[in-house]
Structure 1
Amino acid sequence: MKSEERRQKIKEMLENSTQPLSGKTLADTFGVTRQVIVKDMGIIKAEGMKIIPTARGYLLEKNTDNLKKREIQVCHSKEEIEKELQIIVDLGGNILQTHVNHPIYGTVGESLNIKSRKDIMDFLHKTEETGCMPLLELTKGVHTHLIAAEEETTLDEICTALKKTGFLLSQ
């Protein structure tokens, strides 16, 4: 298979997928190395396709322009990650991104796109599987999320619930 043909098939897979596609899965599918897939993704992005590299794989950026968004700063322990994320998704929110402001490295973050309990479990499983520490451990629990929902009132409800748990620092 020619590289242009492979990239076209990758584009189609991204457009039809609701879950991230891992580099390993794509490499296995096309019988190439993960480095070839990384190069393909760079070319596809340069062609204008909006691809989000996440810890779980590549995801096509969905149009979230019609969603209301809010950046919130929270603080909690590693053991409370699941509880915090569940509060957000159970009330109808989507965690688009997370980042920390590290005193040495500056802003360090990741696109998450967590919108369901399944996404939460996949995220937690990936952190356990890789042994990587969550970003919040770099800043004693303080981190920022960009969250989205269809209604501003939903974002208000999420912030109220996070405030009740003591997680919310600012919005």
Structure 2
Amino acid sequence: MNGDDRKTIILKQLSEASDPISATTFGKQFSVSRQVIVGDIALLRARGEQIIATPRGYIVEKQPHLTYTIACKHTEHQLLDELYTIVDNECGVIDVTVEHSIYGQLSGPLYIFTREDADNFAKKLTQENVQLLCHLTKDFHFHKICCPTTDHYNKVVSALNQKGFLVS
């Protein structure tokens, strides 16, 4: 199979996938190295395809939902409560951003849409012994969230506000 055919199949599979697909998975499927797949993804992005790298693999960015940015503050122990509050209201967490005094905006992709995603994220933080990005800013951070409707957004904001997680 040539590279163009492989890229076509990669894009089709990513567009149809409900979960991220890793470069390693594609590499095994096509009997090529992970690095070859990373190169294919880079070429697809260069031609304008909206492919996003997440901690669990690649996804095609889909924008059927409304996106909002919310300002939050909570302790590390309240992380799952914050994430559950968002996903339990049928919204998703796209990323986290902090404003660092030296580096400016620092962001990390999250793509958390279910409690399982939230649990996996928290588990990986523990396994890798990594601190949250918001530790750099005394727990203050922004999330880009996606919601199917404005009503869903209003419910999330109300629930997060009741828990004291929102900063206005």
TM-score (norm: length of structure 2): 0.89
Structure 1 residue runs of 5 or longer lacking an equivalent are: none
Alpha-carbon separation, structure 2, partners of 1:56 and 1:68: 23
Residue identity opposite 1:56 in structure 2: R
Alpha-carbon separation, structure 2, partners of 1:6 and 1:125: 33
Give 1:160's aligned residue: 158
Give 1:10's aligned residue: 10
* Superposition map of 1:135-154 within 5 A: 135-154=133-152
Helix, strand or coil: the match of 1:169?
coil
Cα gap change, 1:30 to 1:131, in 2 (>3 Å): farther
Residue identity opposite 2:6 in structure 1: R
Write the deviation string for residues 127-163 of structure 1: whole angstroms up to 9, x where unpaired.
Answer: 3344433212222211101112122222122112111
- Percent identity, please: 33
Q: Contact 1:68–1:148 (CA<8 Å) still a contact in 2?
A: yes
Please identify, of 28-37 and 142-151, the stretch whose mean Cα deviation from structure 2 is larger.
Answer: 28-37
**1:95 Cα deviation (Å)?**
1.3
Write the deviation string for residues 46-99 of structure 1: whole angstroms up to 9, x where unpaired.
Answer: 2221111111111111123xx333211101122211110000111121212221
Matched, 1:37 2:37: yes
Q: Contact 1:51–1:58 (CA<8 Å) still a contact in 2?
A: yes
Equivalent of 1:81 in 79, 86, 105: 79
Q: CA RMSD in A?
A: 1.7
Alpha-carbon separation, structure 2, partners of 1:22 and 1:123: 16
Residue identity opposite 2:164 in structure 1: G
* Superposition map of 1:18-167 within 5 A: 18-64=18-64, 67-167=65-165
Alpha-carbon separation, structure 1, partners of 2:61 and 2:66: 16
- The aligned length equals 168
Alpha-carbon separation, structure 2, partners of 1:2 and 1:151: 43
Residue identity opposite 2:3 in structure 1: S
TM-score (norm: length of structure 1): 0.88
Cα gap change, 1:112 to 1:160, in 2 (>3 Å): same
Please identify, of 23-32 and 46-55, the stretch whose mean Cα deviation from structure 2 is larger.
Answer: 23-32
Q: Contact 1:68–1:149 (CA<8 Å) still a contact in 2?
A: yes
